[in-house]
Amino acid sequence: MDDINLKLPELYINRELSLLEFNRRVIDQAKDETVPLLERLRFLCIASTNLDEFFEIRVAGLKQQVRYGSVQTGPDNLSPTEVLKRIRETALQLVDEQYCILNEILIPELSRQRINILRRAYWKPKLSRWIRRYFTSELLPVLSPIGLDPAHPFPKVMNKNLYFIVSLDGKDAFGRESGLAIVQAPRSLPRLVHLPADICNGPHDFVLLSSIIHAHVGDLFPGMKATGCYQFRVTRDGDLFVDDEEVDDLLRALEGELPTRRFNDAVRLEVADNCPGELSNFLLQQFSLTTDDLYQVNGPVNLGRLTAIPDLVDRPDLIYPGFTPDLPPRLVKQGNIFDTLRNGDILLMHPFQSFAPVIDFLRQAAADPDVLSIKQTLYRTGDDSAVVDALKQAARSGKEVTVVIELRARFDEQANIELASDLQEAGAHVVYGVVGYKTHAKMIMVVRREGRSLRRYVHLGTGNYHARTARLYTDYGLLTCDKAVGEDVNKMFHQLTGLGRAGRLKKLLQSPFTLHKSIMQFIQHEQSMAEQGKEARIIAKMNALVEPEIIRALYAASQAGVKIDLIIRGICSLRPGVKGVSENIKVRSIVGRFLEHTRIYYFLNGGDERIYCSSADWMPRNLFHRVEACFPIEEKRTRDQLVQYGLQPYLSDNCQSWMLQSDGSYKRNRPGNHKSRAAQQVLLDHYCG
């Protein structure tokens, strides 16, 4: 058993293909009849958006490797070319399934609920007249058709924007007859038009912008005949390139790169499935793509735009029921959060428990005359952030406020640049972390004078300081005034804002210095316990597991008899259930109402349990190329809470859980004759009643 080579490629699942399998599980939610109808539509839109980002980042990166002649392989030993080939096969299946669900399941079911997306074939005369007026008054003034000829070359096409290629017959006023034109739908135009109730059969009828343009595209070319009009969309490389060794001002470098991202190299072309082959090939040539990059779709080229429907339709019976997040009783009884924390830690389990205590923590700190300073990391915050408002208020009131903003939070770069400016104007000190290492740790530290001494109060989290996602993602936050934890957080802030060697931390584990090494030691200790015939147990919950050394350590622990349960939402490169290697490892994924985002590491440790929460997944980028914080859960009350509600419901879930098979596929758990148990519903029932 022990002589099996744990580096064999067949023991590893390709990370890109694993990510596509996660998207398959999201798509399955759109088919699930136990999910409210409008939420099923929302899941379909989420899957489409996920696929967009997958092409923008993952496929773009693989294409770049191929272009530069890279033959480097991962633990699975698949070359970039082979991975792209397999991605193509799977992505085609997923795209076909998305549009099949939309056209054959969701649109008919929505229609039965008097929510209609009206296609042109079903427009009655009264509606057609209204749409013509709408086109003339709202669209015609802002559309700019571009005829293709030597004076008008093919235009620059923006990333993920809606365009139409139009075939024409006849000559224009100048005698030109190129036969082709491009029409861009400006981003300012709504992709979905909510129709007035008095011209339809009900209050919730919609028409797609693409349908309106198709119907009246001929009006853009007077005196000519539009013989065809076909929507298309291009996906481009979404990464920004900033040379860490050359840049001397990260903010200015990013500001210079952001406008170019919309026109980076193309990686995918989506076209209507009725677009003639010669036009599809013409478009592929314009973007330097091949037929392997072409995706033909039976519907709108951007399904993500349909996510507006649940927000425009007032049908509470077709969405998840609302809930009121719980407040820990200790915070309800005692208004002053600093007094409360001196009597013990508080573990917040979002979204089942409110994010408000985190905001109150900052607001009370801003208003408290005994508070001297506040330090915080920010990765994503969202618009109109109460967290940011509290920091600005603290700075204006004379507190020493230092904010570490990660400018390179993907797709939030522009928002974070503006955030940095706002905070600086309010009087806060703003730094951008460490060049070459994303600051992904989620930390707040408040320093308060109490008598003759100073005390540090700390919040550490697994997720962003974003009030909206705190209602959509599962995340944990620890509020504590533990002295050693406060000293550790203070040292981490000194690393981020100043210069010098990393100080030794007493309780926290930190990437890129101690986290990977410590996790390896913890796994190996469980292996040693099993080899001694003692009970050994590992439970880990996170978004992704990719790092090969940790996977090999888990394999070795499994071979020694350690019972291992992994709750991995998305990518998992470990292959469970392999005879002689991973028979003691189970991997499950939870996909439900809320996006699972918590990271918990549990080690039995001979009965003296080690339990940590973290901002880090077990991926190379988190462990070696980011600043991450991993914090222990030490008080018995919070440890019991985390085991009872953070782990056990997920291990017993038989409704929203999927088990990873040894071949890389996932099989959904079903309750059968047993009582239904859905982890997220268990937590809603417990905390929100």
What pLDDT does residue 487 have? 97
CA-closest candidate to residue 632, choices 456, 511, 485: 485
Q: Is the pLDDT of residue 412 over 70?
A: no
- Dihedral of CA 73/76/82/86: which sign? negative
Question: Tokens for 368?
Answer: 């408290």
The string of DSSP codes covering 623-635 is HHSEEEEEEE--S
The DSSP letter of residue 64 is H
Rounded distance between C-alpha atoms, residue 572 and residue 284, angstroms:
34
Q: What stretch of H or E contains 386?
A: helix 386-396
Flag whether pLDDT at 252 surpasses 80: no
Q: What's the distance, CA 340 to chain centroid?
A: 34
Catalytic residues: 440
Q: How confident is the model at residue 2 (pLDDT cuts 50, 70, 90)?
A: low
Mean pLDDT of 121-128: 91
| Distance separating alpha carbons of residues 614 and 24, to the nearest angstrom | 27
- Which two structure tokens, joined as six digits, stand for 164? 């139409």
**Cα–Cα distance, 196 to 204 (Å, whole number):** 8
Q: Which residues make Cβ contacts (< 8 Å) with residue 681, sequence separation at least 6?
A: 655
In 3D space, the residue among 597, 650, 606, 612 whose CA is nearest the CA of residue 518 turns out to be 612
Unique residue bearing structure tokens 């399934």: 97
Q: Are 43 and 595 in contact (CB under 8 A)?
A: no
Distance CA 668, CA 589 (A): 9
To which CATH superfamily is domain 511-688 assigned? Endonuclease Chain A (3.30.870.10)
Contact 38, 577 (CB under 8 A): no
Sign of CA dihedral 397, 399, 400, 401: negative
CA angle, 9 then 12 then 15, to 5°: 120
What is the C-alpha to C-alpha distance for residues 268 and 92, in angstroms, rounded to an integer? 12
> Is the pLDDT assigned to residue 247 strictly greater than 50?
no
E strands along 185-281, which residues? 192-194, 204-208, 225-236, 266-272
User: Minimum mean pLDDT among 166-170, 322-326, 682-686: which range?
Assistant: 166-170
My answer on whether omega of the bond before 512 falls inside 30° of 0, hence cis, is yes
The string of pLDDT tens digits covering residues 445-494 is 999 999 999 999 999 999 999 888 899 999 999 999 999 999 999 999 99
Share of the chain above pLDDT 90, in %: 79
Strand partners, 174: none
pLDDT over 60 at 255, yes or no: no
| pLDDT for residue 246 | 44
* pLDDT in the model for residue 446: 98
Q: Do domains 329-505 and 511-688 have the same CATH topology?
A: yes
Which segments within 75-176 are labelled E, that is strand?
Answer: 115-117, 146-147, 163-169
What is the band of 380 on the pLDDT scale with cuts at 50, 70, 90? Answer: confident
Rounded to 5 degrees, φ, ψ at 573 are -90, -10
Query: Which pLDDT score is estimated for 316?
Result: 96
Q: How far apart are CA 609 and CA 304, in angstroms?
A: 44
User: 498: helix, coil or strand?
Assistant: coil
**CATH code for the structural domain at 11-318:** 3.30.1840.10
**pLDDT digit string, tens, across residues 272-319:** 999 999 999 999 999 999 999 999 999 999 999 999 999 999 999 999
The two tokens of residue 355 are: 């994010």
Q: For residue 224, which of 168, 176, 166 has the smallest C-alpha distance?
A: 168
pLDDT confidence of 1, banded at 50, 70, 90? very low
Residue 499 has pLDDT above 70, yes or no: yes
Beta carbons of 239 and 267 less than 8 angstroms apart: no
The full 3-state SS of 72-89, as one line of letters, equals CCCCCCCCHHHHHHHHHH
One-letter amino acid for residue 253 of the chain: A
Sheet of strand 115-117: strand arrangement: 115-117, 204-208, 192-194
pLDDT at residue 73 in the model: 79
Mean pLDDT of the chain: 91
Residue-range domain boundaries for the chain: 11-318, 329-505, 511-688
Distance, in Å, from the CA atom of 469 to the CA atom of 380, rounded to the nearest integer, reads: 10
Q: Check: CATH 3.40.630.30 for 329-505?
A: no
Q: How far is CA 320 from CA 219, 483, 681, in A?
A: 43, 42, 11
**604-632 residue pLDDT tens:** 999 999 999 999 999 999 999 999 999 99
pLDDT in tens, 645-665: 999 999 999 999 999 999 999
CA dist., res. 343 & res. 77, Å (int): 53
pLDDT digits (tens, 9 = 90+) for 389-409: 999 999 999 999 999 988 765
**H helix or E strand, kind and range, residue 588:** strand 585-590
Higher per-residue confidence, 238 vs 22: 22
Is pLDDT above 60 for 509? yes
Residue 402's pLDDT is: 95
pLDDT over 50 at 254, yes or no: no
